[in-house]
Structure 1
Amino acid sequence: MSSSPRPDCKLIRPAIPYDGKQGFSYLEGICSENSGSQGIAMMLLTVPPGGRAKAHLHEGHETAIFVLSGEVECFYGDKLENRIITKAGDMFYIPAGMPHLPVNRSKTESCSCVIARTDPREQESVVLLPQLEVLAD
């Protein structure tokens, strides 16, 4: 009986930024395209001072965020009616299909975070929600 070969470990040294549909630039991390991952993607995001994403959700995929530095206000909910401020050292969970929109209110400090998502293709499940943009002030 033959079995498929077991995947090998991969070392990723993030060096290539890419622009996400959400309006931010991410530092390439682990995804199916570069590591063969089957159920996870992980990347580094630095939100510049005053940076604001587009309202969006990740269809069918959960997101976990660990804030390394700075802080971001995140609006979330069907009408972005809820908000939370995440700070360095915080972990933040976003369930699959939850509309959200992060904003860095600082005029001087960036916010850096590690993001892990259950979508190994990372950008594939992103659904933009332009109708919600005006709801987050």
Structure 2
Amino acid sequence: METTVECVVVRGGGYEGRQGGTFAAGISAQSVGARGLCLHRMSLPGHTRGRPHLHAGHESAILVLSGQVEVWHGAGLADHLVLEAGDYLFIPPDVPHLPVNTRDEEMVAVVARTDPDEQEGVQLLDLPRHLHAALTAVPVASPA
């Protein structure tokens, strides 16, 4: 017996991520019943940041569409890089990361993960001591 596959268009809506930032309605288990991926547009207003977090057991890929974002990553968030529009970033499973927008302009990116659940695999982490002085004054975007 053949199974009929239905295509689904998702428009409007969205949610605030526990990890900070606003995620537009996209493709996920919750929106369309996806079983192996999650794809969203994420925005991070100027002079805001996310929360340190990781995605347990799942890879992430990011494409910056506009703006710029600094990303602290790795063990203890000891590594730092800057992404600009057109840059891609691959984050392996279980790697801690923290996006920070130090610019006036909003940063907009497309985020894909191998976890179809929008927030289930998100594990929040404490801000490491070495980043306290630089980032505690920067508010978390769209706190959930």
| TM-score with structure 2 setting the length | 0.86
Segments of 4+ moved more than 4 angstroms? none
The match for 2:130 is: 135
The match for 2:98 is: 101
The match for 1:122 is: 118
The match for 1:71 is: 68
Report the number of matched residues. Answer: 132
Cα drift, residue 135 of structure 1? 3.4
Q: Give the 3-state SS of the residue equivalent to 2:94 in structure 1.
A: coil
The match for 1:11 is: 9
Question: Residues of 2 paired with 1:19 and 1:133: CA distance?
Answer: 23
The match for 1:89 is: 86
Q: Give the 3-state SS of the residue equivalent to 1:79 in structure 2.
A: helix
Are the aligned partners of 1:47 and 1:112 in contact in 2 as well (CA < 8 Å)?
yes
Question: Residues of 2 paired with 1:81 and 1:29: CA distance?
Answer: 31
Are the aligned partners of 2:73 and 2:80 in contact in 1 as well (CA < 8 Å)?
yes
Is residue 54 of structure 2 the alignment partner of residue 57 of structure 1? yes
Question: Residues of 1 paired with 2:55 and 2:83: CA distance?
Answer: 19
Q: Give the 3-state SS of the residue equivalent to 2:93 in structure 1.
A: coil
Cα drift, residue 133 of structure 1? 4.3
Could you say what the CA RMSD is over the residues aligned between the two structures, in angstroms?
1.3
Cα drift, residue 33 of structure 1? 1.4
Question: Residues of 2 paired with 1:134 and 1:22: CA distance?
Answer: 18
Cα drift, residue 17 of structure 1? 2.3
After TM superposition, the structure 1 = structure 2 runs for residues 14-25 of structure 1, keeping only pairs within 5 Å, are: 15-25=12-22
Is residue 30 of structure 2 the alignment partner of residue 33 of structure 1? yes
* Structure 1 unaligned residues grouped into runs of 5+: none
1:32-89 CA-partner distances (Å, limit 9, x unpaired): 1111111000011111001101100000000000100001000001110101101000
Cα drift, residue 7 of structure 1? 3.0
The match for 2:142 is: none
* Structure 2 unaligned residues grouped into runs of 5+: 135-144
Are the aligned partners of 2:61 and 2:89 in contact in 1 as well (CA < 8 Å)?
yes
